[in-house]
Structure 1
Amino acid sequence: MMKKLRQMIVKTIPDSLYQQIKVLSAMLLVVLAGVCTMSIYYTASANVSNIKMLNNDKMEQMQSKMKEYSESIYGRISTLAYSPSAYGYFTMAEEERSIYVDEITSAFLNTMTLEDDIEQIGMYDEEMNLIAGNEAFWQQVKLPSNSEKNEMEFGTMFVSDYNGHSYYTISFPVFDLSSEGYGTRRGIVLFAMRTVGIDDIMEDMKVTNNSRMYLLDQNENIISSYGDDYRKYFPIDEQKKSYYYIKECKVNKEGWKLVSVIPQKEVMIGTWDLYVDIAMMYIFLLVLLMVMRSFFKKRIVDPIEQMDTFVKNLLDEPDARMEINRKDEIGRLAKSLNWMLDEKEILQNNVQQFQKKMYEMELSKKKIQILAYRNQINPHFLYNTLGCIRAMALYYDKEDIAEITMSLSELFRYGVRGDNVVLVEEELNHVKEYARIIDYRFAGNIRVHIQTDKAVKKKKMIKLLLQPLVENAVFHGVEKNLNGGDVFVNVELTDEGLLRFCVEDNGCGMSEERRGAVLEMLEKKGDDEHAKSIGLLNIYKRLHLFYGEEAKFLLESSSGVGTRVTIITPGQIQEDKNV
């Protein structure tokens, strides 16, 4: 199933690169639209959650602050209510109280100075008769409905006829502390409170730009608010719920409550600025997508189409070349294409020249084969001839001629053997035969000394390694001395199990400049010194072909002192190599 689906998708992909870019652009547009929709949805969902969470936090803060405010007010009120002057005022007879009016008035003023929210203070006896305070102010105030309540109580809002301002009340019961009547209520202290302190608490209750927060008393009168008049929103019905998110919570046990009102559009959608930013971002991405599409067509598709047209016309115009002056990948591709065409043309010319040479070589080969057939010499004929010369020399008692002929025969026989790997002992015997010829040739003025360990003789080495070095030492070293000289051949086994071959002479040697030139020629494996150093070059090449980097070739020489060639090879050898 997946394979068929994959094949269907592949078949629907257009062959044109530009069409593929258009399809990809359309897919990206759809993806962008989907991402934009999802972004708005998740943003709205997150906004609802965040606003409700923030609103709950604000209401909890208000509850906490109202509790702290209540505790603060309680401290002020209890201090006044149980002060000696106020507490004693409750127990005095009516005629005695006139004497202490100034004292109780002073206590009231001190408390109102310490607490700015207190506007008026009134003291009532247990029958709820006013015994201290501004009678003109308190006669319009509705007293607490439950006069027997034994704890501080927050009352409702009222508008004073005395000055026209709005206040709420706090009643505080005062009890007998004497041992005889402990716990009996003496009366209450009633406070008319401004809303300044509560207004300060409500100041930081903003949730959204158009949200409202209200603190209501038991009768749903506004004590303090942050926002418009609550009558715009209350009473709460189903229609208002569809426009506003409304949440209530109690603030104290008297029934005061906090009401939060937030427009539903701000809860569900949030601020328009956020969505404008999202829309602008996706518009920017859309424009960027269109610019990229145009860029890809101009910078990639058009040059590729140009290359396609150029390749199609190559058969008609084989000498044409592309002209794209760019340094990017397409420019490098065009240069590579031009280079490939140039190389192809050069290769075709080389092939033609090679074919011509091969034809000429084939003709030469035919001619050489004809000459070879005419002049072919059998190596056995050469050995038999040398043997015949030796026999004649012995017949005529010419032993020196017989020996040199025998040595020459052995040299030829060793050289044409098919073996590539020989024993060290065999190679040294070959050097001895060569040394015998040199001894006769130079009448004993040039001497070859051979030294080797017995354990080394049975080790294996590549053939014809030492004799060319000895020959090189004779003809380029000691031969140039008037009194001849010596060549020393030494083969030994190192402590690491390697074979060390050393050929040293006391001939004319060479300068450091000449030694450097020879080494450079060997490293290049060239034939610029072919005529003079064919032996060294041949040995150097064969060493590296056979042993690779395991072989070491050292050349030491001093002008007028002599030359030493040292070769180090592995002690073990593979016999299946062709050198």
Structure 2
Amino acid sequence: MRLISNLKLKHQISLLILIALIMMILIQSMYNVFFNSLTRERAAKYAGNLMEQVALNVDTIAKSVERDSITVSYSKYVQELMVSTNSIRSAELNDYVSEIFTHTRSSNQNIYSILLLNNNDRQISDNLHYNNDILKTLGKMYNFRSKEFIKPVFSSIVRDNSDAFYYYSYISPIFSSFDATGDYSKIGNCIFLLDTRELEKLVNTTELTKNSLFLILDTDNRVIASNKGLKAGDYYENVFWQEGISSTAKDEIVYEGKKSLVQYKKIDSVNWKVISVLPIAELTSDMKPIVSLGIWLSIIMIVLLTVIGSIFMYNTTRPVMLIVRFLSHVGERNLKHRLKIPSTNEVGIIATHINQMLDNVETMTRDIVENQTSLYEAELSKKQAKLSALQSQINPHFLYNTLNCLSSIGLAYDVSEVVSISSAMSRIFRYSIKGQEIVSIKDEMSCIKDYLLIMDIRYKGKFEIVIEMEESFLEMKSLKMILQPIVENAMYHGLEMKSGVGRLFIRGHISEHGYMQIDIEDNGIGMTDKRLAELRKGIRDDEHAELSGTDKQSIGLGNINKRLKLQFGSPYGLNVVSEAGKGTKVTVRLPIIEPTGKIILLPDC
């Protein structure tokens, strides 16, 4: 504390500003760290919920297969057929069992084929899909023909050489239900061949980010289903889990050169694993504009704090230095000089008392000093008044009051046009500065009607306006201020130079392709093919700086087109068609935004 108190005043203020800057930078850094951490946690939680959902769906499939296996295995026809030695009776039973197979496969789309195998290796199948190569592979893996195989099991994936697809099986031993001794001896096995392509449907819709990975592995760490890149049957070498973990686990790894967040979930019913890998850099990619905005705001605040702090330090230390310098030289100078500090704070009070002390010494010049001080203060007040006038800004309340004043003058002098124009302009201005970005079509059309009212007064019936929109369409929503510039272009570039009465049509409807379509069409002078091509290029072109003259029309349309595409995606925007001498039509494509705020987007083209 003593060390700080010994510093010069300007150094103390500089230290205070530096500490404030450091604290602001630290707060911004902590905010970024917290923001990234929170985003990652939410993404990890969402991925965990997706894995839980996939695991639940797999469990549901497993239970349905187990249930169907019991139904088939303990059907009286199956039981009798498994032990039957009468060829005639076996033929009759085959028909019943085939119906059971057909019904079971039709009721469970996950079942690809069914096979019954009795103790004498007699095969009873649906004779449609089953492959003997798969049966041999399963026999080597599980030895299910032995009497020791008494518990059902879901197998690892196996390949069908005939069609190159991978399948997994549910193998369940069948015990006799006709044994009167209660021994329930094993009479064979029921094998369900299950298609992995049904599992692929579960993971193909689980993409979280552009390069995120979501997959299901069997007990041998071979891929059963993956949302990208990996094929069924591939061995997956990246092992992120520990044996014995059954709940969701999280860790950070380097996958394909990117630091990624990996989560793992074990499915106990089939002894499989569900894994999600999320590149950490992509978790916050959508939030980069917000982070960038925060950084820019911090930079602006730092610059403002530095500038304001410098001004504050200058205004504080300079008068003090003037006082110190004046007192050190007061004995060497003419006593008629006075300390002039243009401040009204404590420093100004000190300067005033010093001047008063000198006034007591120089009694003969007191009146002159007082007159000079009065003149100085008057001049200072005059400058401050001018400065206040220059610094005053027109705010919305001032503009509203001005427009209301114009409206009142119009009423007073019975000039209806002034009343109408000022009222319409007031409503347009109030609407344009509303904080809402998404507004109803009805609000947009109200703004356009106010604009057309002003145009009608200006041109005195030169235009005819036709608006065709159903009430339900008016309740839909859109971006604010996208229709008025188009209508204004139609007026100035299409109808103003047309001889005779011009017509403007505004139509709105829901397209059969599933988007909102608003057509703004005029029967004005239109444009040539060359001019239309230039206009369309200007709308698409991002570098509007080269455009000039009439090309300002494409700047406004290009701005609207870019806003729509940035907000909703590539399927939306503007389309312009025109024919010289016949008119121009601008079509606006918008997503369906319901009154509740729900947005129905088309897939990107």
TM-score of the superposition, structure 1-length normalised?
0.46
Which has the higher Rg, Structure 1 or Structure 2?
Answer: 1
